[in-house]
Amino acid sequence: MKHGFVKVAAASPELKVADPAYNAKKIGKVIEEQHERGTEILVFPELSISGYTCGDLFLRQTFLDGCMTALKEVADGTKGKKMLVFVGLPVPHGGKLFNCAAALSDGKVLGFIPKRCIPNYNEFYEKRYFSSADERDFPTDGKESMPISPDLYFFDEHHPEIVVGCEICEDLWASESPSSRHAQNGAVIMVNLSASNETVGKREYRKTLLAAQSGKCICAYVYADAGVSESVSDMVFAGNNLIYENGTMLSEALPFSGEVAEAEIDTGFLLFERRQNTTFSAREKGLFRGASFVGNADLTLRTVSPSPFVPQGKELERRCGLILSMQSSALARRLKHTGAKSAVVGISGGLDSSLALLVTARAFDLLGKDRKDIIAVTMPCFGTSGKTRANANALMQAAGVTIRSISISGTVSRHLRDIDHDAEDHNVTYENAQARYRTMVLMDLANEENGLVVGTGDLSELALGWCTYNGDHMSMYAVNASIPKTLVKSLIAYEAKRLGGRMEVVLKSVLSTEISPELLPPDEKGNIAQKTEDIVGPYELHDFYLYRFLRRGDSPAKTLYLAERAFSGKYDRETLKKWLVNFYKRFFAQQFKRNCMPDGVKIGSVSLSPRADWRMPSDASGALYIKQAEEL
């Protein structure tokens, strides 16, 4: 298993109703094909050896014997293959007949899982033939060579955390689905052998069930559905093969297509999610059978997004609108609660301050307040460039706010002399003196105007500590604190398009401006000399690393492995590794800034607030992560 990924597939091969020998050959062919593709868990539909629509033939011993003979043939076909295969067939046991899933691996039948929820919608349905697993007690000592139990689980002998649970068709539709109990018993991958007929609207409902069940059980769900070869006397089956992971669909076979659904499940992420969920507790009951089915193949199917915080297509527009509404509503609530007459925003002409001003304008509109009570302040100093100053002025004018320009170069120069600092020494003292004085100006101006200082810093800067302690690090409400830099750009682009006109022109200029704190003098041509991404690294990489570390719980090795795929052709391995090491160094070293960050609205699943999300002591060591990253 490479970095916790397991390859799974759901297939609906051609069959002949009531011809087990024919069906066994077709199933065996798919097993061979999927083995060549590196599939580790392969699922076939309900009663796939017999066919689901056999009717009263299920009650004939000759037919049942034929199904068992076919099962042996299918099991023999798994010998020497590193796979766990599930097929369906009728199994007589204790004088009753059960609709079962058989688990196969390396030539053996590991056991049978009987269906619990037997549908009885009309005379065609299963209660005419099959008993429910709840109607009798099954052996629980696990001594049988081929045990039968609804609570039978399968784990990989070399990776015992990879536990597979099984339910059958209607079990998913029940109010108390067996898979819920399976998840509590440690199963992280669920398989469902189904024969769900197709009717108008049923596909959408089925997908809703699978998304919800995989989400609330924090599991992967592999659903194999009966295909078009079943009898069409009264129904039609479409082969709706579907694979979900924690509420998200990874793969689907189109109806009536005969396609195989394939996906790579991130079991490491699922186990990480379960560790975080304190309402999730494993009971560890049932029968557990070991097998060797997990390999070590590279990812071939799974797409790794280089911008995990930024959705694509139409979803991006919807998401941007929602986020801006969340930010502005939260700020409006805070303004109303504090009784602030005004809002004070420092404007640099860069991305973050532009977004903060846009959010503040939205908040004032929500409250019905005059935008003239937004006091937008530019504070030019040693590093201010002509382009950012022009951006700032044009933005403030277009927003219709009160404009203040307070030059701080003289005051900061006097301050540097007061502390005996050589003004030609452009070290961290030189830079931070400007940032801290700007914050003091904003705070004092807010006091003077009965206002509230709106913070501009974003999530990426907080993660890297790229902010001056008690400088731009501090505000009275931080509206961007949960917005990563890569998403800041999308939000501004969204507002530019929405607002149009003069504002669109200004915001496009902001988007084209180099990211910089502008604390060092411009070059001889008046251009920005201090470029943030030259110093700390590309924000697109750091946002990717932040997401993998906080949201997915990935190790340094897994993060680099995925980064190579996400940024293939753009960054080489050494560059990715260099900035990954830098990410861990900065993230652990800068926790002291996050431990006293101001209030700010949580937007997405990743937040660094010390009150509700990320809790870590300021003196926690990052040696483990840094060492692992350096040794990659």
Which CATH number goes with the domain that contains 417? 3.40.50.620
Q: Once rounded to an integer, what is the mean pLDDT over residues 490-496?
A: 97
The domain tally of the chain equals 2
Whether pLDDT at 279 is above 50? yes
Question: Residue 125 sits in which domain range?
Answer: 5-284
Residues 274 and 381 in one domain: no
Q: Are 124 and 53 members of one domain?
A: yes
pLDDT of residue 310: 96
In this predicted structure, what is the pLDDT of residue 143?
Answer: 66
- Is a pLDDT exceeding 50 seen at residue 123? no
Among residues 472, 505, 534, the one where a domain terminates is 534
In the chain, the percentage of residues whose pLDDT exceeds 90 is 85
Binned at pLDDT 50, 70 and 90, residue 525 comes out as low
Ramachandran area for residue 6 (φ above 0: left; ψ -120 to 50: alpha; else beta):
beta
| Torsion region of 95: left, alpha or beta (phi above 0 gives left; psi -120 to 50 gives alpha) | left
> Taking the CA of residue 447 as centre, how many other CA atoms within 13 Å lie in the half-sphere pointing to its CB?
5
**pLDDT value of position 277:** 86
Average pLDDT over residues 192-220: 95
Q: 266 with 208, same domain?
A: yes
Query: CA angle 332-356-595, nearest 5°?
Result: 85
Within a domain: residue 303? Answer: no
**Residue 243 sits in the same domain as residue 351:** no
CATH number of the domain enclosing 174: 3.60.110.10
Domain boundary among 489, 511, 534: 534
Q: Which two tokens stand for residue 519?
A: 């604390």
Domain membership of residue 457 (yes or no) is yes
| Same domain membership, residue 214 and residue 82 | yes
Q: Give me the sign of the Cα torsion angle 534, 535, 538, 539.
A: negative
The stretch 466-474 carries a mean pLDDT of: 94
Mean pLDDT within 391-401: 96
Q: Determine, yes or no, domain membership for 374.
A: yes
**Residue 156 pLDDT greater than 90, yes or no:** yes
* Same domain, residue pair 279 and 405: no
Phi/psi at 92 (5° precision): -80, 140
Q: Which residue has the higher pLDDT, 234 or 73?
A: 73
Higher pLDDT, 373 or 349: 373
4-62, pLDDT tens digit by residue?
999 999 999 999 999 999 999 999 999 999 999 999 999 999 999 999 999 999 999 99
Is the pLDDT score of 259 beyond 70?
yes
Average pLDDT, rounded, for the chain? 93
Q: pLDDT class for 449, splitting at 50, 70, 90?
A: very high
- Per the model's pLDDT, the better-predicted residue between 144 and 146 turns out to be 146
pLDDT at 513 over 70: yes
SS3 for 367-429, per residue? Answer: HCCCHHHEEEEECCCCCCCHHHHHHHHHHHHHHCCEEEECCCHHHHHHHHHHCCCCCCCCCHH
549-580 residue pLDDT tens: 999 999 999 999 999 999 999 999 999 999 99
**How far is the C-alpha of 203 from the C-alpha of 465, rounded, in Å?**
48
CA angle 382/486/467 to nearest 5° reads: 40
**Are 356 and 226 in the same domain?**
no
pTM of the model: 0.92
pLDDT attached to residue 145: 73
285 versus 245: the higher-pLDDT residue is 245
DSSP result, 283-315: ---SEEEEE-----PPPSS----S-TTS--THH
Q: Give Cα separations from 495 to 307, 321, 329, 390, 513 (angstroms).
A: 20, 9, 16, 19, 17
**Residue 142 in domain:** yes
Report pLDDT for 518.
Answer: 65
Q: 100 forms bridges with which residues in the sheet?
A: 89, 114
* Complete edge-to-edge strand list for the sheet that includes strand 189-194: 248-252, 242-245, 220-225, 189-194, 159-168, 152-156, 287-291
Q: Which band of pLDDT confidence, cut at 50, 70 and 90, is reported for residue 146?
A: confident
Q: Tell me the mean pLDDT in the region 276-300.
A: 85
Give the active site residues: 46, 115, 169
How large is the average pLDDT for residues 187-196? Answer: 96
Question: At residue 252, what is the residue type?
Answer: E
Residues 6+ away with beta carbon under 8 Å from 369: 335
Structural domain includes residue 273:
yes
Categorize the per-residue pLDDT at 232 as very low, low, confident or very high, splitting at 50, 70 and 90: confident
Domain ends where: 534, 558, 585? 534
Other C-beta atoms closer than 10 Å to the C-beta of 444 total 12
Give yes or no: residues 171 and 121 share one domain: yes
At residue 602, does pLDDT exceed 60?
Answer: yes
Pair (268, 343) in one structural domain? no
The region of weakest confidence among 18-22, 190-194, 212-216, 531-535 is: 531-535
- pLDDT of 288 over the 80 cut: yes
% the chain with pLDDT above 70 = 96
C-beta of residue 407 within 8 angstroms of C-beta of residue 436: no
Q: Are residues 279 and 322 in the same domain?
A: no
- Cα distance between residue 293 and residue 280, in whole Å: 26
CA distance 168 to 179: 10
Confirm whether 510 is domain-assigned: yes
Pairing of strands 248-252, 242-245: antiparallel
Describe the chain by its helix, strand, coil percentages, rounded to 5: 40, 15, 40
145 assigned to some structural domain: yes
Q: Is there a contact between 66 and 36 (Cβ–Cβ < 8 Å)? A: no
Residues 271 and 346 in one domain: no
Residue 596 lies in a domain: no
Task: Give 432 or 517, the one with higher predicted confidence.
Answer: 432
Residues 136, 69 share a domain: yes
Mean per-residue pLDDT, 542-553: 97
